[in-house]
């Protein structure tokens, strides 16, 4: 078969909802798009540990400390599943990490904002994990088998994370006046960056059209952003907090809320590396990679010694 026929057959498999597996033929651009998206996703999980990890030693109770610790460990696990899924496409994990460390690979814009108070840990769980779930539920049905399977477990855990964040917000919103102010302040600061997590507006998105055709993405950035706003507004009302958007208004015709426009200039600036914490995040990852080198070397040496013994036997 020539390339054109192979591509036609490939698209027919996608349209028939068949999963594409690592050894199947796939267009180079499909492989490239997946490597880009899955690795960005993996990097986001790992970098996402930093703003939360910042509060492990300062959590206000033993219970909240244990829960936060478990959540941060979950994110590390998500990163590992996702790097493994990316590796099935023929790329080396070392290469992916190298691209992150030199600033070539992207990770989610959201993790370039600081977590200033304990209420931020609530807002991150509620809004950031909430946005992540809105985006990732569709990925459980993405066309590439290893990515789809990894996402099933990730989504289950993210849904616990979202509740963990909401619980913190609930305690603070019903606490003292000062705690309530802290909760509102966290919502004010995290709302717009959370909307930006879904990516640029559809009309500016370079990858969406092709990714939807290949069913890597099953919904567009704007569709998911709308779902998130509709779902989150009643949750804010229940907390007695106000979403910082004066244009937020129910639209009966579309059966959803109209809302204001995020500051897209800020978004593009953050993904170019100029957000409030980009440098701090990358420096922390590079330092951790350097300091963990001896552990990787030792475990590889142990593995190589073990497999050499097996060969002799
Ligand atoms: N941040 O054509 P578009 C988590 C880039 S972690 C940075 O619409 P696409 C969690 C985009 O890459 C959540 N960059 O792109 C962890 C593209 O540039 P390139 C992470 C962004 O790929 C710890 C350009 O902008 N979730 O859950 O079709 C604690 C044009 O965009 C962003 C995932 O990674 C952004 N926000 O759609 C708590 C989910 N948005 O690559 C929680 C998987 C866009 O062409 N990823 N860009 O140079 C996706 O679903 C998609 O990649 C996106 C973007 C929706 C993010």
Q: Kindly tell me if the per-residue pLDDT of 253 is higher than 90.
A: yes
Q: Kindly tell me if the per-residue pLDDT of 261 is higher than 90.
A: yes
The residue to mutate among 41, 71, 108, having the most atoms of ligand 1 within 8 angstroms of its beta carbon, is 108
pLDDT at position 309: 78
Determine the distance separating the centroid of ligand 1 and the alpha carbon of 34, expressed in angstroms.
12
- 232-236 own/partner pairs: CB under 8 Å, 24+ apart: 232/127, 232/130, 233/257, 235/126, 235/130, 235/166, 236/187
Q: Kindly tell me if the per-residue pLDDT of 305 is higher than 90.
A: no
pLDDT in tens, 165-220: 999 999 999 999 999 999 999 999 999 999 999 999 999 999 999 999 999 999 99
Distance, in Å, from the CA atom of 79 to the CA atom of 12, rounded to the nearest integer, reads: 31
Q: What is the mean pLDDT of residues 150-171?
A: 95
The residue to mutate among 166, 207, 218, having the most atoms of ligand 1 within 8 angstroms of its beta carbon, is 207
pLDDT at position 234: 97
pLDDT at position 302: 83
Q: Measured from the CB, is residue 123 less than 6 Å from ligand 1?
A: no
The residue to which tokens 């909430």 are assigned:
130
Question: Which residues are CB-neighbours of 297 under 8 A, at least 6 positions away?
Answer: none
Q: How confident is the model at residue 307 (pLDDT cuts 50, 70, 90)?
A: confident
pLDDT in tens, 225-248: 999 999 999 999 999 999 999 999
For 143, the token pair is 């066309």
Q: Kindly tell me if the per-residue pLDDT of 284 is higher than 80.
A: yes
Determine the distance separating the centroid of ligand 1 and the alpha carbon of 108, expressed in angstroms.
6
Q: Kindly tell me if the per-residue pLDDT of 109 is higher than 80.
A: yes
pLDDT at position 125: 96
**Residue 251: in which H helix or E strand, if any?**
strand 249-251
- Mean pLDDT across the chain: 96
Percent of the chain whose predicted confidence (pLDDT) is above 70: 100
Q: Kindly tell me if the per-residue pLDDT of 81 is higher than 90.
A: yes
pLDDT at position 194: 98
């Amino acid at each position: 078969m020539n390339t054109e026929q192979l591509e036609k057959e490939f698209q027919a498999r996608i349209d028939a909802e068949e999963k594409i597996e690592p050894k199947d033929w796939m267009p180079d651009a499909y492989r490239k798009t997946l490597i880009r998206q899955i690795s960005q996703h993996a990097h986001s999980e790992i970098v996402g540990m930093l703003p939360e990890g910042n509060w492990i030693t300062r959590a206000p109770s033993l219970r909240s400390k244990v829960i936060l610790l478990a959540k941060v460990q979950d994110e590390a696990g998500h990163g590992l599943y996702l790097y493994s899924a990316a590796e099935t496409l023929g790329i080396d994990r070392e290469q992916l990490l190298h691209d992150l460390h030199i600033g070539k690979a992207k990770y989610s814009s959201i993790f370039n904002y600081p977590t200033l108070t304990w209420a931020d840990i609530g807002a991150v769980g509620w809004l950031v994990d909430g946005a992540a779930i809105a985006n990732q539920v569709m990925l459980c049905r993405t066309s590439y088998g290893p990515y789809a399977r990894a996402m099933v477990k990730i989504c289950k855990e993210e849904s616990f994370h979202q509740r963990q964040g909401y619980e913190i917000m609930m305690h603070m919103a019903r606490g003292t006046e000062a705690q309530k102010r802290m909760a509102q302040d966290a919502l004010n600061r995290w709302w717009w960056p959370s909307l930006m997590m879904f990516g640029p507006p559809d009309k500016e998105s370079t990858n969406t059209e092709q990714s939807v055709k290949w069913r890597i993405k099953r919904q567009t950035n704007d569709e998911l952003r709308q779902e998130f706003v509709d779902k989150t507004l009643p949750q804010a009302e229940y907390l007695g907090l106000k979403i910082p958007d004066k244009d937020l208004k129910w639209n009966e015709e579309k059966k959803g809320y109209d809302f204001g426009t995020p500051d897209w200039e800020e978004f593009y600036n953050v993904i170019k590396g100029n957000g409030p914490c980009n440098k701090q995040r990358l420096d922390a990852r590079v330092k951790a990679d350097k300091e963990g080198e001896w552990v990787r070397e030792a475990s590889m040496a142990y593995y190589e010694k073990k497999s050499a013994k097996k060969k002799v036997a």
